[in-house]
Structure 1
């Protein structure tokens, strides 16, 4: 582990010698992640991308990709695009990335079950804004929006998310 790793601990998410309070999945932490279980999966996960709402914030890094109207994330284990970003119109089960609420205004993408998704192993694990302190996610990691932006501006290509 290095200071540039994001390390989930009982105290919060540690990064660059700071600890940030965070929320995890309603299903707790699991070594046996499954689609819909609400668990945050254990393991070492690479950071593989960042998405942001350009109508709500400035680009946090030069490699962040704007979320456009019609951007979706497939969460249908039966579909060939399972656990991938897709575009509307898209009929299989999916999650809308451009939401009315601010939950996905800034999203850090991990490589959980990606790019070669195993059906049923669970779709994307994002690091995104929390709904409120202590309110669980569907398996992702949620942060205070100010802390999320601070981290997003400082993560590097080699940054990993480590969940034990």
Structure 2
């Protein structure tokens, strides 16, 4: 299994917009998927199909920061319904959510790799078969650490 991480590598001091993947052990919270493109994943986690108006707030000055939102939304956000395929399968990682600290980083997901395996903006990206294997194995947490 080979994961793609943020273009600025791994960090123990994550902050919004640093393009680094946080180091730690993170619970897996929920799975979203594009039901119009892929089959529902088998997992012990809660699963919900995405809709066109689903998003995630990444505006550290908004009370919805690092939360799932419905669009349209007045604050800066990421749209989860994308034209590319990387968000066809998304696992929400329990990073900066208990409690949420503004500016510490948001929208840290496990999602699908791009075909050319280019780095993420801070997420962990796996092939669809590997991500499905993690989910079907009953995983409820992920550990991100430096190799070796």
Paired residue secondary structure (1:132): coil
| Equivalence for 1:143 | 126
TM (norm. structure 2) is 0.90
- Cα deviation for residue 153 of structure 1 reads 2.3
Q: Residue 105 in 1 paired to residue 91 in 2?
A: no
- The CA RMSD over aligned residues, in Å, is 1.4
| Equivalence for 2:72 | 89
- Cα deviation for residue 132 of structure 1 reads 3.0
- Cα deviation for residue 44 of structure 1 reads 1.1
Determine which structure has the larger strand proportion and give its number: 1
- Cα deviation for residue 69 of structure 1 reads 1.5
The alignment covers a number of residue pairs equal to 143
CA distance in 2, matches of 1:143, 1:64: 18
* Superposition pairs of residues 64-75 of structure 1, within 5 angstroms: 64-75=47-58
* Superposition pairs of residues 122-141 of structure 1, within 5 angstroms: 122-141=105-124
CA distance in 2, matches of 1:112, 1:26: 18
CA distance in 2, matches of 1:134, 1:64: 26
TM (norm. structure 1) is 0.82
- Cα deviation for residue 109 of structure 1 reads 1.0
Structure 1 segments, 4+ long, off by >4 Å, are: none
* Superposition pairs of residues 15-54 of structure 1, within 5 angstroms: 20-54=1-35
Q: 1:132 to 1:122 in 2, by over 3 A?
A: same
For structure 1, which runs of at least 5 residues remain unmatched after alignment? Answer: 1-19
- Is the CA contact (8 Å cut-off) linking 2:42 and 2:132 kept in structure 1? no
| Equivalence for 1:16 | none
- Cα deviation for residue 58 of structure 1 reads 1.9
- Is the CA contact (8 Å cut-off) linking 1:104 and 1:128 kept in structure 2? yes
Paired residue secondary structure (1:23): coil
